[in-house]
A and B are shown apart, each in its own frame.
Chain A
C-alpha cells in the first residue's frame, strides 16, 4: 500500500528564515497532496494542497512543490514567524481519498 515518508522530524529555524519540509510517497497513483498544520491538542488545519497535474502552488508565504517523477513533494515557508511553530503533516491520497500521513515535522521558530 501507499507509504509516505516525511523529513525532518524536527526543524528549528531562526525567525525570518525559510523552512523546508520534504515528503516522498510510494504509490504513483496518488494524485492529491495536502499539508496540514497541527497545534498542540487541536485539529489539523489544511494550509495548502496540490494535485498531481500541477508542479507548484503558492499562497503568500507558503508554497508546495511536486515532482511526480521522483515522487517528492515539499512545503516551503518563507519569512517564518513565531506563530508558524507547530507540527506539520504531509499526506497523499488517490482515488479513494483515504489520506496516508507522514510522521510529522515539529517546526520550531527561534526568536
Chain B
C-alpha cells in the first residue's frame, strides 16, 4: 500500500513555543490530507482537512490560528502548533489518500508540552 511518513514521532517542547509536524506521502500525490488528534483511550478526532494549494478546512472547535496547516505541495502537509500549552499535549496523526477510498496514516507524533 501507499506510504505516509510523519515526523517527528516524539517531541517535547516548552510551554509557549511552537512545534511543526510534517506529513509526507512518499510514493503518491495527495491532494487531500487529514489531521487528527487522539487523546489516550479515545478515538481519532478530525481537526482539519488539508487541501493542496488552498486553505485548510477546520472542524468546529479547532482554532485555526493555533493549529496552522500548510499544504504547499502534493506530497507535503505541515501542522504547526503555535504557542503550545500543556493541554495541547496529545497524539497527532495525519492521513492521506492515494486516489482510492482507503486512508493511509502517518506514524503519529506524540507531543508533550512542559
Binding site for B on A (CB under 8 A): 32, 34, 41-46, 49, 51, 89, 93, 97-99, 101-104, 106
Contact = CB atoms under 8 A, between A and B. Distances in A.
Interface string B52-93: 000000000000000000000000000000000000000101
B97 A97 contact: yes
B105 A43 contact: yes
A46 B103 CA distance: 8
Interface residues of B, number: 22
Contacts of A89: 43-44
Contact of A93 (B91, B101, B107): B101
B86 to A, nearest CB: 19
Interface of B: 1, 32, 34, 41-46, 49, 91, 93, 95, 97, 101-103, 105-108, 110
Contacts, number: 48
Contact of B46 (A44, A49, A98, A102): A98
Contact of B108 (A43, A99, A103): A43
Nearest to B45: A101
